[in-house]
Amino acid sequence: MIHEKADISDCEIGVGTRIWQYSVVMKGAKIGRDCNVCAHTLIEGDVEIGDRVTIKSGVFIWDGTRVESDVFIGPNVTFTNDPYPRSKHYPGKFSGITLKKCSSIGANATLLPGVVVGEKAMIGAGAVVTKDVPDRAVVVGNPAKIVRFLEK
């Protein structure tokens, strides 16, 4: 299901994926099966999203980002992809973020360029993630710090 008010370019969208109103998906993006892309989102062209991913409203996913299957991205999560941003000056390659299988990103978290979030890791709401997060780690705060590890 693609809402009539979504702006979808030439891209790959898996069976069962729902894209809601006022979402923009740019040419070349790859979105897997059974995903839910909520209203007011943007997905650039050099983005790959796995199966059964939830992307809540207010999320913009920039070039170079890779999202594996079964990931949850909360509302207004901020992704970045340029470690030294300047107006009209672009890097040769963007430093995308990688979200591993079954990871969850809480509302309003910010992830800096090049960060890898491990499998089943959990990022607390409002956290500022400045470095890689290990598998099953729970991180909170600014800068994000590990507070515990999940057993399963």
The model's pLDDT over 120-146, given as tens digits with 9 standing for 90+, comes to 999 999 999 999 999 999 999 999 999
Of residues 88, 42, 84, 87, the one with CA closest to residue 63: 42
Class of residue 88 by CB neighbours under 10 A (exposed 0-12, middle 13-18, buried 19+): exposed
DSSP, res 89: B
What pLDDT, on a 0 to 100 scale, did the predictor assign at position 144? 98
Residue 152 has pLDDT above 80, yes or no: no
Class of residue 151 by CB neighbours under 10 A (exposed 0-12, middle 13-18, buried 19+): exposed
- Give φ, ψ of 8 to 5 degrees: -115, 120
- pTM of the prediction? 0.96
Q: Which domains does the chain have, with CATH numbers?
A: 1-152 (2.160.10.10)
The model's pLDDT over 16-64, given as tens digits with 9 standing for 90+, comes to 999 999 999 999 999 999 999 999 999 999 999 999 999 999 999 999 9
What pLDDT, on a 0 to 100 scale, did the predictor assign at position 77? 98
Number of DSSP helices (H) and strands (E) in the chain, helices first: 0, 21
Q: How far from 150 is each of 11, 104, 139, 147, CA to CA, in Å?
A: 36, 12, 11, 10
- Rg (alpha carbons) of the chain, rounded to whole number: 15
Of residues 71, 65, 72, the one with CA closest to residue 112: 65
Q: How far apart are CA 133 and CA 121, in angstroms?
A: 7
The model's pLDDT over 74-121, given as tens digits with 9 standing for 90+, comes to 999 999 999 999 999 989 899 999 999 999 999 999 999 999 999 999
Q: How far apart are CA 35 and CA 37, in angstroms?
A: 6
